[in-house]
Chain A
């Protein structure tokens, strides 16, 4: 009898692997092991609809608990895998139990990068990745008046937008000279800077937090590098994540900035795959190895691995896309801009609707869209299919982008 598939990690990637295996006709045992106590849920709403109270714990579940039973998925919540015993093909749990596998999928995710400064341990310094953290953060935002957000990336800015929408005083502190600097074009950074400031959020760029001071053990003020002080009864830190590579390292599998996998998402062992936030893979669109943190990447890699295990394998080639919602503004990214040498803008930032098209060696490699969903969908197709488009066509709103790609 087959030992089946063990999936380490109950986030979006792990969840998707389990159910895609069934959808692909895989009939062996499937065990999904999650460290969190919850049935797998969606993370994207946590910083938005969840803290705003528009969605609750029940309606962010990816699927109801009964669905796991119906499809014969053995789900083990609140369990940690201590080691992968590769010679014996089994996963060893903290509890001591061993689960044998034919294939093992590391969908181990990541953890929050911790702010390495004095006072970061104080009560009232929060992070956001898990539902448990979101439940606490929601409560703390409700009770807070002055909130300092450390980090002007997606998570920090989404939390800032939610907190401001709830009427709180909010300051965002970003170490780099512009917002979301790693992922969007300067014109997009400026647009979001204005959008936050016009709604009353204080945005400090090129600013570093030196220390958090407390009052009776509770965070009360944030000291910046230039000695200026921001009062805060809540500090939310969103400065990135660290991939969970330790299990792979311990098992002697390749790992650096993520668990190193090949184009089939195999981690240096024909029985072991790594997917989602924890995996670093060769990306044909970037022309280099990348580690992506997104729902799209988690889902599409899970489907790719489920197919491989079900005997229908192939290389992973999905075009990346991302999104962030801040206030009523929707930011959508397609492709990867690394190494671009030219950009063209379609539409006007002043109208609140525009896209930035990035070119590398004359080929479209990425598009940032602000409130232009049609541009974004066209970009996914153009980039995914490797279609030709010139910067002039991209900037010319009379050119219908849909006419430039083959339908399906």
Chain B
């Protein structure tokens, strides 16, 4: 079965290329592989803003619109919110997202 690859880049420019199955979130892919830089304190419930990532611009059109809940959380990220800021728990991996690149902020809390 086809498993999309997601690239996580830390603030220190370390690159992690991870297989993340369709249906899993970008946050879960990081946590399951022990990548520091995504904390996910609330476990993916869109409650804590500690899985904040900056999404590579060319993938933004493939992501669902930021809903009210995520928008409220993104206002509370520890590092600056930018137009390409997303909570990685809210990005469910689909086949089209193969190759997605996300950058992790300097800190999450």
Check if A and B associate: yes
B 90-104 to A, binary, CB cutoff 8 A, 1 in contact else 0: 000000000000000
Chain A interface mostly: helix
The answer to whether B72 touches A373, judged by C-beta atoms less than 8 angstroms apart, is: yes
User: Which chain B residue lies CB-closest to A374?
Assistant: B72
A402 to chain B, nearest CB (A): 7
A 35-68 to B, binary, CB cutoff 8 A, 1 in contact else 0: 0000000101100000000000001111110110
User: Which chain B residue lies CB-closest to A63?
Assistant: B34
In the bound complex, residues from chain B placing their C-beta under 8 Å from that of A45 are 43
A22 to chain B, nearest CB (A): 9
The answer to whether B34 touches A64, judged by C-beta atoms less than 8 angstroms apart, is: yes
Docked Cα-Cα span, A380 to B75, in Å, equals 12
B 73-109 to A, binary, CB cutoff 8 A, 1 in contact else 0: 1011000000000000000000000000000000001
In the bound complex, residues from chain A placing their C-beta under 8 Å from that of B43 are 42, 44-45, 60, 62, 295
B-facing residues in A197-226 (Cβ within 8 Å)? none
B21 to chain A, nearest CB (A): 11
B-facing residues in A113-132 (Cβ within 8 Å)? none
Q: Which of A59, A299, A325 contacts B41 (CB 8 A)?
A: A299
The answer to whether B45 touches A59, judged by C-beta atoms less than 8 angstroms apart, is: no
The answer to whether A295 touches B41, judged by C-beta atoms less than 8 angstroms apart, is: yes
The answer to whether B34 touches A373, judged by C-beta atoms less than 8 angstroms apart, is: no
User: Which chain B residue lies CB-closest to A353?
Assistant: B68
User: Which chain B residue lies CB-closest to A59?
Assistant: B28
In the bound complex, residues from chain A placing their C-beta under 8 Å from that of B24 are 59
In the bound complex, residues from chain A placing their C-beta under 8 Å from that of B41 are 295, 299
Q: Which of B28, B42, B75, B109 contacts A377 (CB 8 A)?
A: B75
B-facing residues in A314-347 (Cβ within 8 Å)? 323, 325, 330, 332
Q: Which of B28, B47, B68 contacts A323 (CB 8 A)?
A: B47
In the bound complex, residues from chain A placing their C-beta under 8 Å from that of B46 are 373
User: Which chain A residue lies CB-closest to B49?
Assistant: A377
The answer to whether A373 touches B68, judged by C-beta atoms less than 8 angstroms apart, is: yes
Q: Which of B33, B42, B71 contacts A374 (CB 8 A)?
A: B71
Docked Cα-Cα span, A70 to B35, in Å, equals 11
In the bound complex, residues from chain A placing their C-beta under 8 Å from that of B58 are none
The answer to whether A380 touches B76, judged by C-beta atoms less than 8 angstroms apart, is: yes
A 61-82 to B, binary, CB cutoff 8 A, 1 in contact else 0: 1111011001000000000000
Q: Which of B31, B34, B45 contacts A70 (CB 8 A)?
A: B34
Given contacts A66-B34, A70-B34, contact A377 B45 (CB under 8 A): no
Docked Cα-Cα span, A303 to B107, in Å, equals 14
A20 to chain B, nearest CB (A): 10
A23-B36, A64-B33 known, 20 other contacts, Cβ within 8 Å? A44-B43, A44-B45, A45-B43, A59-B24, A59-B32, A61-B32, A63-B34, A64-B32, A66-B34, A67-B34, A295-B42, A295-B43, A303-B109, A323-B47, A325-B45, A332-B47, A373-B69, A376-B72, A377-B75, A377-B76
